[in-house]
Amino acid sequence: MLKTSGRLLALMAIVAGSVVVYTLIDLLVPGSQNPIIDAIVVSSSVVAQYLLGRKNVESWILWLGPVNLLSIILFYSAGAFTVMALYMAFLIHALFAIRSWYRSVQVTS
């Protein structure tokens, strides 16, 4: 599990990454429907993947919240219901994964 400083660093990386991705979307895809949400999903996904690679349980919190929930909203609003269903499946997977990871952390502590 991350310490408070690690969580703050992850949050700062998400915010900074969101600003960068938003700027790129604004430059490269003018008129995008939801550039802010897209930017948050992309930067949260990168940070979540990094944390997952380091085996930090907090990665699953990012997969649940900013990544899957916002993606479901994004794809619903775009009418991409098949992809929305995929992210609903990812959300369910993340719920089971975080439960399993928390149990394994408790056992080893």
Cα 27 to Cα 92: distance, rounded to the nearest angstrom: 35
pLDDT at 87 over 90: yes
For the full predicted model, state whether its pTM sits above 0.85.
Answer: yes
For 6-41, the pLDDT digits (tens) are 999 999 999 999 999 999 999 999 888 899 999 999
pLDDT-derived band at 104, boundaries 50, 70, 90: confident
Q: What angle do CA 74, 61, 89 make, to 5 degrees?
A: 50
As to burial, measured by CB atoms within 10 angstroms (0-12 exposed, 13-18 middle, 19+ buried), residue 32 is middle
For 55-79, the pLDDT digits (tens) are 998 899 999 989 999 999 999 999 9
39 and 21 in contact (C-beta within 8 Å)? yes
